[in-house]
Structure 1
Amino acid sequence: MKKEYQLLLAEDEPSLGLILKESLESRGFKVDHCEDGEAAWKCYQAKEYDLLILDVMMPKLDGFSLAQKVRKADGYIPIIFLTAKSTTNDVVEGFEKGGNDYIKKPFSMEELIVRVKALLERKSNPIHQEWITIGKYLFHPGKQILKIEKDETYLTSKESEVLKELMMHQNELTDRSTILEKLWGSADFFNARSMDVYISKLRKKLEKDPELQILNIRGYGYKLICS
């Protein structure tokens, strides 16, 4: 991992923001901390960042709305949401708004560090920069695009990550817990429900190739069948 990644932290609780900033900087990251969404948006426009950490409930501009603005300008930068909300719908909404990860408060600093490093490592992976053939489709993980003939479909960050995991083990069983731990951070009930939602969405987006299937092997995981 390269030294001194530049992070933007948007957290409206001053004490928590200070703790997060100091902890991240002690691990070698450079961190700009903003206490509302509008200030964070101005910082984002003025400077280049490697990753964003956004609290969902913020004054002036909430984290979800800020992420949507960022996504219009940059489809690749990793975004982590921090929130006290924990229902399946909340988690799914976070990923739909452009988030790559979603951490529920309270959380440990080590958990955040692990998530940050994992996203930065994924971002630098060469596979993100290439078109990959999946059946009759072409898939670009970095651009989050599925293409079949002249039709292009844009995926959310989480859809793209789940599809990449399945694709890397196509025609093999992919353990459910392994995907959950890697992409969601834990294999709890809410994350499992969230992953089921994304699997259903991917099935619909791959239905133009009838020979492509995502099988649910009950009690074990998923298998992407690709001839």
Structure 2
Amino acid sequence: MQILLVEDDQRLGKLVKHMLEHEGYRVKWAIRGDEALALASDFVYDVIILDWMIPVLEGAALCRQLREQRYQKPILMLTAKDAVADRVSGLDAGADDYLVKPFEFSELFARIRALTRRGETPLQEEIVSRGPLTLNRSARTVECNGRQVQLTAREFQLLDFLVQNSGQVLPREVILDRIWGLGSEVSDNNLDAYIRLLRKKIDEPGGATLIQTVRGIGYKVEI
């Protein structure tokens, strides 16, 4: 498995690279954001481990550019920023998971395994139409009743997961783990806020809500 490590701290980068290689991973190490962008444009790594505070092109901006270029492999953000707003910002930029420094290597390895397990199941359809919704997974665009709906990367990921499991009740903890990652500190309140935003964007005024609340459990879509 090939990993791109993006970390400008020489001591930490050297240590993380050594520990990953000891676990059997092949690691390419970049120090600057522009260098990492060039490497990721030339080769599709299984996982990118991305520090937030890197020179030239900082981590969140790099992550956003990669997603705009349709880079679909998992991205794990490393950062000393531990405020909820910072975590949400990183996830909205397109990161799949978030690990706050300092961290235990056992947790880093567990998160990599979790991310790669999710990536083992390919998307079956590029364009998915369910009821009034049409999702284009490559372009990350959504139409609802023929109108374009502008969603953030995280909102699209959440809606896509709900639509994939149409008719099933998805517990909150399942949604949080699938969308924000193992061990994320994103709370139920954050999930509720995302659901409210999605409803505001996709529901027709005066019409029934597409995303239903199942009290005490989670959410489901019936389309």
TM-score, normalized by the shorter chain, greater than 0.5:
yes
Q: Work out whether 1:178 is the aligned partner of 2:187.
A: no
Cα 1:197–1:48 shift into 2, 3 Å: same
Cα 1:11–1:215 shift into 2, 3 Å: same
Q: Which residue of 2 aligns with 1:10?
A: 6
Cα 1:128–1:147 shift into 2, 3 Å: farther
> Which whole-Å CA distance do the structure 2 matches of 1:141 and 1:72 have between them?
12
TM-score by length of 1: 0.80
CA contact (8 A) 1:130 1:140 kept: yes
Shift of the alpha carbon at 1:142? 4.8
1:104-123 alignment, distance < 5 Å = 104-123=100-119
Whichever residue aligns with residue 45 of structure 2, its letter is Y
Q: Which residue of 2 aligns with 1:215?
A: 212
Q: Work out whether 1:102 is the aligned partner of 2:98.
A: yes
Q: Work out whether 1:59 is the aligned partner of 2:55.
A: yes
The DSSP-based 3-state class of the residue aligned with 2:134 is strand
Q: Which residue of 2 aligns with 1:70?
A: 66
Cα-to-partner distance string for 1:130-151 (whole Å, 9 max, x where unaligned): 3333321122445433233654
Cα 1:42–1:139 shift into 2, 3 Å: closer
Cα 1:33–1:187 shift into 2, 3 Å: closer
CA contact (8 A) 1:174 1:223 kept: yes
CA contact (8 A) 1:53 1:79 kept: yes
1:144-183 alignment, distance < 5 Å = 144-148=140-144, 150-153=146-149, 155-183=151-179
Whichever residue aligns with residue 73 of structure 2, its letter is I
Q: Work out whether 1:24 is the aligned partner of 2:20.
A: yes
Shift of the alpha carbon at 1:174? 1.6
Aligned length: 221
CA contact (8 A) 2:70 2:138 kept: no
Q: Which runs of 4+ in 1 moved over 6 A?
A: none
TM-score by length of 2: 0.81
Cα 1:168–1:39 shift into 2, 3 Å: closer
CA contact (8 A) 2:97 2:184 kept: no
> Which whole-Å CA distance do the structure 2 matches of 1:205 and 1:182 have between them?
22
Question: Any gaps of 5 or more consecutive residues in structure 1?
Answer: none
Cα 1:83–1:212 shift into 2, 3 Å: same
The percentage of aligned residue pairs carrying the same residue is 32
> Which whole-Å CA distance do the structure 1 matches of 2:54 and 2:40 have between them?
16
Cα 1:41–1:127 shift into 2, 3 Å: closer
Which shows bigger deviation, 84-93 or 68-77?
A: 68-77
Cα 1:187–1:32 shift into 2, 3 Å: closer
